[in-house]
Amino acid sequence: MFHPLHTDIKPPERFTYPFYYEPHPLCLLAANEVQQHLQTMPLTEGKMFGVLVVASPLTATIGFLAAYSGLLCGRNDWPWFVPPVFDAQQPDGHFKVTERLIKNSPDHKQLSQQLQLWLFEQYRFLNAHGERKDLLHVWQDYHCSPRIRNRYPLPPGGTGDCCAPKLLQYAYSNGLKPLCMAEFWWGPSSRSCDESGMIRQHGQFYPACRGKCKPVLTWMLQGLDVDPNPEEQGLPQLDITVIYEDDTLIVIDKPSGLLSVPGRIGSHSVATILSSRYPGSLLAHRLDLWTSGLMVAAKSRDAYRHLQQQFSDHTISKRYVARLDTAYLSTTPSFPREGTISLPLLCDPLNRPRQVVDYERGKTAITDYRMLGPDLVALYPHTGRTHQLRMHCAHPDGLGCPILGDELYGRPADRLYLHAELLELTHPVTAQRMRFEQPAPFLDAPASA
């Protein structure tokens, strides 16, 4: 399971913060070896793989461990990869035997719940202090919020079977010191979603999942010196540009990297800037943190209500421009030069702010689009769902090509190449139709992936 790394690259000073990171060069080296090994395997599905670079105190060498999420082609016993934390797939094991026995029982539901609770107790996770705790207690100790606890009283199926818990468990169990870690998606197609419906791109690195893994890893990382959460290090104090102002309205241009309203990662925002300059002003809508472009605010509550009604009635026209990531265009089946995308979106509360397409529970989200060039697209949203344009570009049932710089649904770049360039509305007082345009700052600048 331990694969030596022959390199002069120095390990990091602290372990990877697994939910927001740039892969360390040692992880890139290890991932390359895993990907070469995968070329020899009969893969038929896309899958998340992980590498954990470790030091062996016994041999004074550095190497890596490799893992895959869940089952790989129906198996969890592939050689070369670390084993599961607990193997529930053995045909003659307690779980499978009991599962078969209760399949046709009249008390199937109750017995299945009891079996599931038994299974949770078998997942006993180590941390760097050498302490153990079973999955049920890890989950309940982490989720103190009554809202989440009531909605998810038990861990989702598959919790503990992702790459990161497998890798850390094997390292701790075998006296290996974790140095850094990374996970990537690998599969036969770049137009992929994982088991939860989240968009994944072939060869792209991703953070550990928050829904299943954050409670487990919060426990397992205790005792390690871990990098701080970059999302809590603060954002630059960016400013807005006022495009238009009168006694009723303020139209501004928001830069990428400025919050619309105060959030969990900072308080400096468009709303607080406007509040300090225009006391009593109210922001009529929002843009994502990394989206730039036009926004409108009202100077009175009456004007705010008027604008809100226009948004509700879909009489405010908006146009965005986005640069698609050319790394994926070559593998994306051709789509019409213009058309309409309708994909219902749903937020996974355990993986905020990620959205998923859910045809049963999702909220209607509709976007018209028109290609402006080989990688440039104009987007006309009819609804205003969270991450609507990003998902409609990236999802295989949409354009199937993420926006350049989309860290959630594609890959990072120097910014998210999405800009709100046009806003057309009716003035709340004069009833005059007003049109504002602000070209995207990246149209004439070269993209930096």
Please name which of 218, 192, 119 lies closest in space to residue 409, comparing C-alpha atoms. Answer: 192
A 10 A CB-CB count for 176 gives: 23
Encode burial over 200-229: b for 16+ CB neighbours within 10 A, e otherwise. bbbebbbbbbbbbbbbbbebbbeebebbee
In Å, the largest CA–CA distance within the chain is 79
**Catalytic machinery residues:** 288
Collapsed DSSP state (helix, strand, coil) of residue 148: helix
List CB contacts of 103: < 8 A, sequence separation 6 or more. none
Residue with tokens 């397992």: 220
Contact 64, 166 (CB under 8 A): no
**DSSP letter, residue 358:** -
Contact 316, 423 (CB under 8 A): yes
Please name which of 214, 260, 253, 210 lies closest in space to residue 235, comparing C-alpha atoms. Answer: 260
Element (H, E) at 304: helix 301-313
Contact 228, 17 (CB under 8 A): yes
